[in-house]
A and B are shown apart, each in its own frame.
Chain A
């Protein structure tokens, strides 16, 4: 065992490997910060080069990009309200509000620390209890997945405190939007209004960026325009003072503030690790579930949605905590649980290692080296993030007059680049218009996005369960895990109602 650890650390801590990790994290943070570009995309582009690198170096580079990208997504989410990656959508809810309050640095640092803590937790779980957790993941079939999604839908109600009806209504719109495209069971086109462009459904990235970012930019632009017409000169002065008035030394995350976010971070780490290990559930679901739970268990839940640091911490830690555990199904069964895991699987294959149970036994030293690299990359992420953040905070406080067109261009280019699709750009603009309408009418936007994210999975799981059960609804309560979820959902509703009564 000791020999193995020494051999693996010699591989993992080779100067070249360290250099590649460093390079990867830098690349990942930068790409993640640009909406539409993600670590995944860079990993896909680098796949052929993996073949020509030493496995440990290739791993270092890819792991670095992946982790940097996970955190980088939150930078755009906080600075511009544009989630750089789908996983960062939940981060943008409170992150952007915090920035509007003039505390981007606090928000970015909270995101960095919670991201690193969540990620490290997940890596440790991968290293030490991958095998038992993988066994749990396999017990999730369609019936259990539907119960999980139903449970998440209950959390939507929890998310939109004080306006449950509006929250449920927009969640339904989200589910409806997600139904556009192909019927998951028959493959027939539906709700496409005869437009073949819609037959593949609406992509996640344009909907996310449209709902969150475009709508925000349009509303801000409109405000700015009105002010300009009213009093042009005053406005110029005011804008200049916004930039000059920002003092980064007053925008430091204090130790007390950091400590206050820890509970939310731990909730995120636990939820993210668990959701990450389930094949197909995804970063965004993890982030939104953590956010919902953290809000419910927070002492200052009323601050959520208004720039709460706890909100940022829970979302970002939940999102990053999928990083290690998403490899669990890949290592244990050769099943890639996410797009990233699929890309890593392809990289393993190109390096001559077959993902699956034999991966560890056949390549023990290199996999142990990968474990070291996973942890080391978190440290690099922390250090690089810490060095880069002051600059990002300043960017975040640039005058809105410059910012609005920049965000608009970033959103459009980023959307196009993600799938090379012009249709996606139209979807982005329509989603933006929908977002503006809903904002003006006072609807919360997060439930819509969550409905959109879990809608397809929930429908598929429900209809698969029904097919397997021969059309009998009782099939849904034939699994102990599913029953557990329903009971937990019921208990949560009860708890929330009682808590609400107690408050009143």
Chain B
């Protein structure tokens, strides 16, 4: 019996070693047949995870090899980035993340890489940060909010996941634009924010549309505004802040990256096979059911343009915060 046990242990060790050793034997300038790993610097089960698994299930045959999703939430996601940066630059280890990991953390912390070291190759979707309140709250629109916050500064509590996250920076930007002041309450994430809103513990919260669609449709919460250029597909009745007259828009692109040391021909190849895989009927059906928004996936050009824009925007906000 013990023999069997240690055999399992050996097998697991071997698997783990293969994991770390990585795909080191691939040919120099094209994708080989070793598995591709999508590293996701978040825990399993979130919306990024679902999206990564949709890619894995559909792009594999087009990329010519198996695709594994690896969740590395360690060190606030930094370990995942480090792992991709350290991997052999053959395109078999890619990163999938929003801008918090690659831009905000790189700018605010002492990281061994620069923002430009991350090369976006696929632009999967744009998340639209959305402000919402409980359905029976006094505030039911952007105007109500601004009016109340101007009348009594710092009386409204706003829940927003991690500080400087993609559901916090838009709030900072809006406060700069309007001069209103709110109490900023960091939470563990969208789930906790929603619990506090529904329980009436806080006034306002910010999240991404798919996670509150069912609560909005049920009349439990009201989404009052979207920080985007256009309204969200899943919440078509909710106005943007621009419509309300405040020029604040801060969409969060979800991107697939390689590290900059990966040859450009491989970046191109990966970008194309992932896009082809996501263009299939099965991929689109999966995306629809999961509200993953993969109906307008863009290639390297769009990905890099939006990455540059977002970097500039984050830099501006961070500078403004530091001046305060």
Binding site for B on A (CB under 8 A): 34, 40-41, 44, 47-48, 51, 137-143, 181-182, 184-187, 189, 196-200, 203, 279-280, 329, 333-337, 339, 342-343, 345-346, 349-352, 354-359, 391, 394-395, 398, 402-403, 406, 409-410, 413, 416-417, 419-424, 460, 464, 467-468, 470
Q: What residues of B have a CB within 8 angstroms of the CB of A337 in the complex?
A: 191
Q: Is the CB of B196 within 8 A of A141?
A: yes
Query: Are B218's CB and A51's CB within 8 A?
Result: no
In the assembled complex, which residues on chain B have CB atoms less than 8 Å from the CB atom of A470?
154, 183
Question: Contacts A48-B57, A357-B214, A402-B2; is A197 near B50 (CB within 8 Å)?
Answer: no
**B277–chain A nearest beta-carbon distance, Å:** 13
The docked-state distance in angstroms from the alpha carbon of A279 to that of B201 is 14
Q: How far is the CB of A215 from chain B (nearest CB, A)?
A: 20
Q: How far does the alpha carbon of A137 sit from the alpha carbon of B19 in the complex, in Å?
A: 41
Task: State the main secondary structure of chain B at its contact with A.
Answer: helix
A200/B74 in contact, CB under 8 A: yes
- Pick from A44, A187, A196: contact of B163, CB below 8 A: A187
A47 CB to closest chain B CB (Å) equals: 6
* Contact status A200-B192, CB under 8 Å: no
Name 9 interchain pairs, CB-CB below 8 A, sorted by A.
A196-B111, A200-B79, A334-B194, A406-B5, A409-B13, A410-B9, A419-B73, A424-B74, A467-B183
Which B1-42 residues have a C-beta within 8 angstroms of A? 1-2, 5-6, 8-9, 12-13, 16, 19-20
Q: How many A-B residue pairs have CB under 8 A?
A: 185
A395 to B154, CA, bound (A): 62
A280 touching B75, Cβ below 8 Å:
no
A468-B215 in contact (CB<8A): no
B178 within 8 A of A: no
- B residues sitting closer than 8 Å to A (CB atoms) are 1-2, 5-6, 8-9, 12-13, 16, 19-20, 43-46, 49-50, 53-54, 56-57, 70-79, 83, 109-111, 154, 157, 162-164, 183-188, 191-192, 194-196, 198-199, 201-202, 211, 213-215, 217-218, 220, 286, 289-291
Knowing A200-B77, A413-B16, say if A34 contacts B8 (CB, 8 Å). Answer: yes
Whether A413 and B76, one on each chain, are in contact in the complex, defined by CB atoms closer than 8 angstroms, is no
Closest CB-CB distance, A207 to chain B, in whole Å?
13
6 further contact pairs, Cβ within 8 A, besides A335-B195, A409-B6:
A40-B44, A48-B53, A142-B196, A333-B220, A343-B45, A467-B184
A423 to B82, CA, bound (A): 12
Choose one: B13, B56, B215; the contact of A48 (CB below 8 Å): B56
Is the pair A349, B289 in contact by a Cβ cutoff of 8 Å?
Answer: yes
Would A203 and B45 count as touching, CB distance under 8 A? no
